[in-house]
Amino acid sequence: MMTPMTDAALLIPGSWLGMIGGGQLGRMFCHSAQSLGYKVAVLDPDTQSPAGAVADLHICAAYDDAQALVRLGELCQAVSTEFENVPAQSLLTLAQYTRVTPSGDAVGIVQDRIREKAFISQAGVPVAPYAAIESLDDLQAADSALFPGILKTARFGYDGKGQARVADRDQALAAFKEFGSQACVLEALQPLKSEISVVLARGLDDQVKTFPCARNEHRDGILAVSTVSAQFQDDAMSEQARQAAAAIARTLDYVGVLCVEFFILEDGRWLANEVAPRPHNSGHYTMNACVTSQFEQQARVMAALPLGDTQALCPSMMLNILGDIWFDAQGQMREPDWAALLAVPGVSLHLYGKTEARAGRKMGHVNIVGESDQQVRERTARAATALHIAFDHD
What is the sign, positive or negative, of the torsion defined by CA atoms of 62, 65, 71, 73? Answer: positive
Phi, psi for 181 (deg, rounded to 5):
55, 30
Q: Does 268 belong to an annotated binding site?
A: no
Residues 6+ apart with CB under 8 A from 3: none
Is residue 134 marked as binding?
no
Count of positions (residues) in the chain: 394
**How remote is the C-alpha of 54 from its chain's centroid?**
21
How far is the C-alpha of 103 from the C-alpha of 161, rounded, in Å? Answer: 25
**SS3 assignment, position 11:** coil
- Confirm whether residue 73 is marked as ligand binding: no
DSSP-H helix ranges across 292-343: 294-303, 338-342
Q: State the Cα–Cα distance between residues 76 and 33, nearest whole angstrom.
A: 13
Question: How far is the C-alpha of 196 from the C-alpha of 319, rounded, in Å?
Answer: 15
Q: Does the annotation list 274 as a binding residue?
A: yes
Closest CA to 27 of 54, 62, 66, 58: 54
| 84 annotated among ligand-binding-site residues | no
Closest CA to 24 of 363, 366, 367, 387: 363
46 marked as binding residue: no
Q: Is 152 annotated as a binding residue?
A: yes
Q: Is 273 annotated as belonging to a binding site? A: yes
394 labelled binding-site residue:
no
Do 345 and 378 contact (CB within 8 A), yes or no? Answer: no
Other C-beta atoms lying within 10 Å of the C-beta of residue 330: 6
Return the DSSP state at 106: H
Asked if residue 298 belongs to a known ligand binding site, the reply is: no
Q: Is position 157 annotated in a ligand binding site?
A: yes
Query: Which DSSP string do the residues of 236-293 spell out, in sequence order?
Result: HHHHHHHHHHHHHHHHTT--EEEEEEEEEETTS-EEEEEEESS--GGGTTHHHHBSS-
Contacts of 100 (CB under 8 A, 6+ apart): 78, 79, 80, 91, 94
In the annotated binding site for ATP, the residues are 113, 152, 157-163, 195, 218, 273-274
In the annotated binding site, the residues are 113, 152, 157-163, 195, 218, 273-274
